[in-house]
């Protein structure tokens, strides 16, 4: 009976060890820990006669319960091959206990068979323990192999994930490089188009300059001789006053002299008008051979606003305009072609003053001519300077907005403009300085020009 108790303790200890090594069923581990104490107490009570039979029954029941638990719980599947080694002893222990309830004549005979079975059980136990040990080693080796495979699989997954990240990064870099190359190609095409256009414009400019020079020489003679003729007509009129002529003849001759003088006035006026157009053509076709210099742009803007204003005041004493200057102090020296940029600013500012003066002459009640000029620097990854020139004149009609930068197009009445000022300003800003010139306007309300220059 003591052997059954010892066997039960061994089974409980091994089951608990198996569960502990595999971190399984913590509740059952705690219960088995208490079970060891209970079996130890039962082991101590096996020699007490009054309760000896009860203790035997309990130990046998616990042995059978251990078999049931091992085959019932899937977590103890690996322990079953060891349990096979103990089953004969458990069965023999139960049978041996049952024989105590049989007649004595049977007990001796059954005892003989039980002893023989016990010898067989020992052989079985040793054989099964050896087999179980080999199976456990094989199982452990298989588990280690699976763990290694799982580990390798996990490493492979991690490597795969890393490779996917690297591929994604490389793909993104390639796409960025592709976009940069596309932008470079587009920029190259645009530069090529600009070079072709610049070459065409240079050829056209040379042709225009040649024609303008050829026209200017005879035009100078026309203007000079028209002024001489005006002086001669005046002298002729004075001589007629001194001569003794009939009144009718005098009146007739003075009328003819006045007609000649009026014709010469018209020739002189249109000659000067043609001369201003030729000079504008020469300015428009002139090649920019100047060198860029660092210039205080705020001072330049302020200077040309006041130069334009006082120039118009000199021609028209009644001209008066409110000027609002807001200059960004962050703007210091800017690389520009001073004379060209000054000409571009002067053209745009003169147009603005002309527009507000024309609207004022319409006699609109409560109208106050205003010119607002601002400069500001904006960082868009690259620093840019914005010069905004806004007037509250009559604006530009929608149907001509697309033409204002075309050479010889003007919104001014005949004789008031050559149509070359804005065209020349546009070329100076875009081609000469790599900037932009944009216009927005609402008819009857305002016109605004925005000059965008690179800050370098």
User: What's the pLDDT at 392?
Assistant: 93
Q: In the predicted model, what is the mean pLDDT of residues 139-164?
A: 86
**Residue 366 backbone class (left: φ over 0; alpha: ψ -120 to 50; beta: rest):** left
Per the document, the length of the chain is: 456
DSSP of 22-60, one letter per residue?
A: TT--HHHHHHHHHHHHHHHHHHHHTT-GGGHHHHHHHHH
Instruction: Give the contacts of 75 (CB within 8 A, at least 6 positions apart).
Output: 19, 22, 24, 25
Residue in this structure with the two tokens 């091959």, named with its chain if needed:
81
Span 293-454 CATH architecture: 2-Layer Sandwich (3.30)
Residue 267: alpha-carbon gap to chain centroid: 63
pLDDT tops 90 at residue 347? no
Higher pLDDT, 255 or 79: 255
User: What's the pLDDT at 415?
Assistant: 43
User: What's the pLDDT at 104?
Assistant: 56
Higher pLDDT, 217 or 157: 157
242-257 tens-digit pLDDT: 777 677 777 887 788 7
In angstroms, rounded to a whole number, what is the distance separating the alpha carbons of residues 387 and 435? 11
- Lowest-pLDDT range, 165-179, 286-300, 321-335? 286-300
User: What's the pLDDT at 417?
Assistant: 45
- Buried/exposed code over 271-288 (b: 16+ C-beta within 10 A; e: otherwise): beeebebbebbbbbbeee
Q: Per-residue confidence at 408, pLDDT binned at 50, 70, 90?
A: low
User: Do the beta carbons of residue 284 and residue 424 sit within 8 Å?
Assistant: yes
Higher pLDDT, 415 or 348: 348
User: Of the candidates 426, 407, 427, which has an alpha carbon nearest to the alpha carbon of residue 417?
Assistant: 407
pLDDT tops 90 at residue 450? yes
pLDDT tops 70 at residue 163? yes
User: Do the beta carbons of residue 388 and residue 449 sit within 8 Å?
Assistant: yes
Q: What angle do CA 266, 271, 275 make, to 5 degrees?
A: 150
In angstroms, rounded to a whole number, what is the distance separating the alpha carbons of residues 115 and 108? 11
Higher pLDDT, 156 or 22: 156
User: What's the pLDDT at 273?
Assistant: 66
188-223 tens-digit pLDDT: 886 676 566 556 555 655 666 666 666 767 777 677
Q: In the predicted model, what is the mean pLDDT of residues 127-144?
A: 76
Tell me which H or E stretch contains 75.
none
User: Do the beta carbons of residue 398 and residue 438 sit within 8 Å?
Assistant: no
Q: In the predicted model, what is the mean pLDDT of residues 309-327?
A: 85
- Lowest-pLDDT range, 210-219, 322-331, 396-405? 210-219
In angstroms, rounded to a whole number, what is the distance separating the alpha carbons of residues 53 and 47? 10
User: What's the pLDDT at 447?
Assistant: 92
Of 205-219, 266-280, 378-392, where does the model show the most confidence?
Answer: 378-392
Q: What is the mean pLDDT of the chain?
A: 77
86-130 tens-digit pLDDT: 777 777 766 766 666 655 555 556 666 666 666 776 777 777 777
pLDDT tops 60 at residue 290? no
- Lowest-pLDDT range, 266-280, 338-352, 363-377, 440-454? 266-280
Higher pLDDT, 164 or 50: 164
In angstroms, rounded to a whole number, what is the distance separating the alpha carbons of residues 268 and 39? 138
DSSP-derived letter for residue 430 is I
User: What's the pLDDT at 414?
Assistant: 44
pLDDT tops 60 at residue 1? no
């Amino acid at each position: 009976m003591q052997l059954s108790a010892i066997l039960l303790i061994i089974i409980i200890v091994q089951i608990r060890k198996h569960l502990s090594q595999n971190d399984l069923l913590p509740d059952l581990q705690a219960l088995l820990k208490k079970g060891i104490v209970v079996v130890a107490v039962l082991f101590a009570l096996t020699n007490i006669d009054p309760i000896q039979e009860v203790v035997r029954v309990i130990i046998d029941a616990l042995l059978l319960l251990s078999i049931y638990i091992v085959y019932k719980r899937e977590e103890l599947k690996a322990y079953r091959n060891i349990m096979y080694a103990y089953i004969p002893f458990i069965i023999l222990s139960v049978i041996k206990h049952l024989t105590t309830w049989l007649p004595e004549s049977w007990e001796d005979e059954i005892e003989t068979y039980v002893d023989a079975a016990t010898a067989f059980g020992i052989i079985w136990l040793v054989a099964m323990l050896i087999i179980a040990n080999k199976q456990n080693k094989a199982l452990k080796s298989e588990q280690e192999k699976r763990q290694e495979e799982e580990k390798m699989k996990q490493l492979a997954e991690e490597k795969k994930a890393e490779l996917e990240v690297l591929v994604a990064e490389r793909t993104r870099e390639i796409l960025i490089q592709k976009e940069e190359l596309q932008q470079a190609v587009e920029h190259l095409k645009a530069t090529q188009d600009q070079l072709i256009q610049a070459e065409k414009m240079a050829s056209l400019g040379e042709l225009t300059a040649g024609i303008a020079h050829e026209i200017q020489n005879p035009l100078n003679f026309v203007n000079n001789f028209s002024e001489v003729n005006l002086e001669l007509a005046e002298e002729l009129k004075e001589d007629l006053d001194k001569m003794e002529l009939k009144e009718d003849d005098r009146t007739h001759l003075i009328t003819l002299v006045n007609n000649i003088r009026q014709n010469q006035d018209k020739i002189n006026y249109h000659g000067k008008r043609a001369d201003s157009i030729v000079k504008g053509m020469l300015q428009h076709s002139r090649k920019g051979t100047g060198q860029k210099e660092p210039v205080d742009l705020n001072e330049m803007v302020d200077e040309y606003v006041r130069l334009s204003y006082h120039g118009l005041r000199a021609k028209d004493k009644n001209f008066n305009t409110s000027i609002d200057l807001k200059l960004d102090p962050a703007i210091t020296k800017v690389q520009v072609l001073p004379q060209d940029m000054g000409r571009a600013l002067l053209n745009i500012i003169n147009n603005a003053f002309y527009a507000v003066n024309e609207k004022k002459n319409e006699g609109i009640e409560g109208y106050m001519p205003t010119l607002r000029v601002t400069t500001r620097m904006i960082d868009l990854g690259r620093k840019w300077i914005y010069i905004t020139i806004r007037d509250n004149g009559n604006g530009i009609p929608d149907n001509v907005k697309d033409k204002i930068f075309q050479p010889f197009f003007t919104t001014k009445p005949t004789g008031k403009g050559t149509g070359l000022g804005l065209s020349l300003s546009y070329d100076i800003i875009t081609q000469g300085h790599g900037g932009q010139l944009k216009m927005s306007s609402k008819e009857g309300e305002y016109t605004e020009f925005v000059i965008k220059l690179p800050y370098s």
